Chains A and B, each alone.
Chain A
Amino acid sequence: MTVHGAAHHPPYAELHRFGLRLFIASEAFLFGVLFAARFYLLGFERAEAVNVTLGVVLTIILLTATWSSHRAAAAARAGDRGAMQGQLLLTMALGVLFLALVVVEWSAGFREFPISTPYGSIFYLITGTHSLHLLIGLFVLASLFLQARRGRLGEGDVWKVEGGVAYWQFVDVVWLFVFTILYVL
């Protein structure tokens, strides 16, 4: 009649995947509200000086990073530690490149549409929030990379890589919306 605790405690990965999904749902609302505020305040108005070319470059970088992060998770599942570390490193490098280009973009943008303009307020809040999330994603990937290098990630830890990658990919997907509503529309 009775079942012992260990048997009914759900598997570690399943539990954490569920928790991460809840967190991402909440984060999606955060970005949804930011996007809604953009249209609420400004409609489809956009500053002429927004560097669309740079936006396209940023998008390509993050799409590549999505792919490499996917490869990292696949390598983790296949147990190929070397490939996983390589792909994590590539993903992080792309992330750092992305942030460096955001800095370039901001320093140019501050002259054209400063933060004290209606479009500037929206632009820097949304891109800033996104970059902050990307930075957190970078810390997560870096932590995974370091753990893997020290041999601390065993076979039971595939989920950790999958979870970090899932969060990273969420932030990448958010960028597609950011790009669409700030650069294209």
Chain B
Amino acid sequence: MAVATTTAPTASTSGLWSWITTVDHKRIGIMYAVSAFVFFLVGGTEALLIRLQLATPNGTLLSADAYNQLFTMHGLTMVFAVIMPIAAAYQNYFVPLQIGARDVAFPRLNAFAFWLFLFSALFLYSSFVVGGAPDGAWVGYAPLSTQLKEFIRMDYYAIGAQLLGVASLAGSVNFIATIFTMRAPGMTLLRMPVFTWMTVVTSFLLLLSLPVIGVGLWQILFDRNFGTLFYAAQAQGDPLLWQHLFWIFGHPEVYVLILPAMGIVSEILPVFSRKPLFGYAFVVFSGIAIGFLGFGVWAHHMFTAGLGPVAEAGFGLATMLIAIPTGVKIFNWIGTTWGGKLRLTTAMLFSLGFIAMFVIGGLSGVTHSIVPADTQQHDSYYIVAHFHYVLFGGAVFGYMAGIYYWFPKWTGRFLDEKLGKVQFWITFVGFNLTFAPMHILGLDGMPRRTYRYPEGLGFEFWNLLATIGSFLIALGVLLLLINLVKSYRKGAPAPADPWDGRTLEWTTSSPPPVHNFDEIPVVHHVDDFWYRKYGVDEEGRAVRVPEVTGGTVEVEVGGEDHGEAGHDIHMPSPSYFPIIAAAGVVVIGAGLTFSSTPLVGFTLLGLGVIVTLWGLMGWAGEPITKEAH
């Protein structure tokens, strides 16, 4: 070992400073989760304002200008500040636990990624007080985005998205390195839990797609501020280049949002069906196939851009193709529950809801692969309906299932199941009431991104229904919030293995100790924990192995005091350099955002460079673990 090591730091484990300097993947995961939830409330409020405006024809609640800012920020928030970080929260907390590791590969890089995400999102929101938020839609199509010169709103977009991308990139490097190099002995790739596998796929998607939009965002910034001509159609530039760059990122991004949710559902269904995942290898390889194909379908977002029949046919076929691995997964999930001994917990309800809603969203998605039909659907509410079925009925349902499933591990307490089931049904009904009518609205010709619609086009009833539905969703979210607060304080205590789980995170205490595992597990099977608990009798039925009845784990935990001779557990020391470096990078970004006012821009840029260098130099010079006897 080249690394200087020491025992796990026991000082400074509470208080604000301990959170600021933490490099513990579990704490970072919790901070991701809390931040994402707060942004979920903010982005949800934006959606409610949008729905209130559209509840009646000729709505007067919002001006066109306010509406543009709200729908742009709703999209940016939900994608970059809610779904990606909530996925990162689960990945941070559970990937090391699922592969039997004590830590992630780059703990300080991990902390840097979190702080950069948080500061970038806050920076993006600071635009509201500085002169207006981005108002050119989350897709930021050129030349609108390069010519909207209302203050520096779209500069905020170009830099805000860029910074959030850098944060995700740092996180992705960390996850891939962790999963490929730090698995417990015996944890071969094809014994990894599906959630961990989906983390591999999404991390690679981000690693290779974020640079693409990175270039595009630079070009927007330069076109706006430095007189370049990348997207200027009048001078050899090409606005279509932006559409290509955006969607080469944007389509893999869709899978970045959904694959971790698919991973979570693939964990929950077997546990509550008391059956192994049907066709584990098929589910894993389908996820990988989706990852590869995801890079080859981007132009189906551009069927009205005039790419020509050959390109359109090709991308249409590729889009149909991607339905195959997705369909394989759905049949595998159904196969998992088939003949199982189902326990309809809230986590299970959300997982089943995920499958049903995702099937609807997936099928409406396949309709986009038919080029002539897509030309009609393009930029209509049909599209809005489709991607909310995938991202809310799909992804968000999956992440909500994850909350109910993993909350006991986070806190050592159960969420209230009764309240949870009420929340599920309210959310489920509200969700369908909100987004199902949008299919009809879209096919009836209601365009997206318009702040009002006239009377007499037949849009009134369905819009009102959607608005009522959106408030039902809000009620559901409120119930979840109440449940979280209430259960965190005085929920029923949860043991290490509350659900009779199958994966390694359930072998350690709830919540886990700083070092995760007192003894690094040795893995022999997929669902290794299950095989430790159950054997098979002569008739092929699962029977509990007698000697490990109940919390075998607690016995091990109690029997060992880490730090004893021969049992040293080495954990990285806390560090405040990641947060400094992250702050510096965001100040650099702020400087670039203010490019149009050079004095402010250069001041912030210089300041940001100094702070970043301070953080990085300190980071580089600091030993990874300090001697702290």
> A residues engaging B (CB < 8 A)?
1-6, 8-15, 18-19, 22-23, 25-27, 29-30, 33-34, 37, 40-42, 114-118, 120-121, 124-125, 129, 139, 143, 147, 152, 156-157, 159
Within the assembled complex, what's the spacing in Å between the Cα atoms of A23 and B174? Answer: 10
Known pairs A6-B5, A8-B185, A14-B181; A26 contacts B208 (CB<8 A): yes
B138 located at the interface, meaning its Cβ lies under 8 Å from any Cβ of chain A in the complex: no
Give chain A residues whose Cβ lies under 8 Å from the Cβ of B617. Answer: 143
B214 located at the interface, meaning its Cβ lies under 8 Å from any Cβ of chain A in the complex: yes
Q: Which residues between 555 and 602 of chain B lie within 8 Å of chain A, taking CB atoms?
A: 566-570
Question: Is the beta-carbon distance between A3 and B185 smaller than 8 angstroms?
Answer: yes
Give chain B residues whose Cβ lies under 8 Å from the Cβ of A121. Answer: 222, 228-230, 237
Question: Is the beta-carbon distance between B238 and A40 smaller than 8 angstroms?
Answer: yes
Interface class of chain A by DSSP? helix
Within the assembled complex, what's the spacing in Å between the Cα atoms of A30 and B212? Answer: 6
B356 located at the interface, meaning its Cβ lies under 8 Å from any Cβ of chain A in the complex: no
B525 located at the interface, meaning its Cβ lies under 8 Å from any Cβ of chain A in the complex: no
Known pairs A19-B173, A25-B208, A33-B215; A2 contacts B226 (CB<8 A): no
CB-nearest residue of chain B to A40: B241
Within the assembled complex, what's the spacing in Å between the Cα atoms of A143 and B177? Answer: 25
In the complex, 17 of the A-B residue pairs with CB atoms within 8 angstroms, ordered by the A residue number, are A2-B522, A3-B184, A6-B568, A8-B184, A13-B2, A25-B207, A33-B212, A40-B241, A41-B236, A41-B237, A42-B236, A115-B227, A115-B228, A118-B237, A125-B228, A139-B613, A152-B621
Q: Which 4 A-B pairs have the closest CB atoms?
A: A30-B211, A121-B228, A118-B236, A156-B2
Known pairs A8-B520, A125-B222; A15 contacts B211 (CB<8 A): no
CB-nearest residue of chain A to B3: A12
Question: Is the beta-carbon distance between A29 and B208 smaller than 8 angstroms?
Answer: yes
Q: By the criterion of a CB under 8 Å from any partner CB, how many residues of chain B are at the interface? A: 59
Known pairs A34-B215, A143-B617; A41 contacts B230 (CB<8 A): yes
Question: Is the beta-carbon distance between B567 and A4 smaller than 8 angstroms?
Answer: yes
Known pairs A15-B181, A25-B207; A116 contacts B229 (CB<8 A): yes
Within the assembled complex, what's the spacing in Å between the Cα atoms of A14 and B236? Answer: 47
B292 located at the interface, meaning its Cβ lies under 8 Å from any Cβ of chain A in the complex: no
Distance from B150 Cβ to chain A, minimum over Cβ atoms (Å) = 22
Question: Is the beta-carbon distance between A125 and B218 smaller than 8 angstroms?
Answer: yes
Known pairs A19-B106, A30-B214, A118-B229; A6 contacts B208 (CB<8 A): no
B283 located at the interface, meaning its Cβ lies under 8 Å from any Cβ of chain A in the complex: no
Most buried by B among A4, A13, A14, A27: A4
Question: Is the beta-carbon distance between B236 and A12 smaller than 8 angstroms?
Answer: no
Within the assembled complex, what's the spacing in Å between the Cα atoms of A23 and B214? Answer: 14
Name B1's contact: one of A9, A29, A143 (CB within 8 Å).
A9
Q: Which residues between 191 and 226 of chain B lie within 8 Å of chain A, taking CB atoms?
A: 207-208, 210-212, 214-215, 218-219, 222, 226
Question: Is the beta-carbon distance between B176 and A22 smaller than 8 angstroms?
Answer: yes
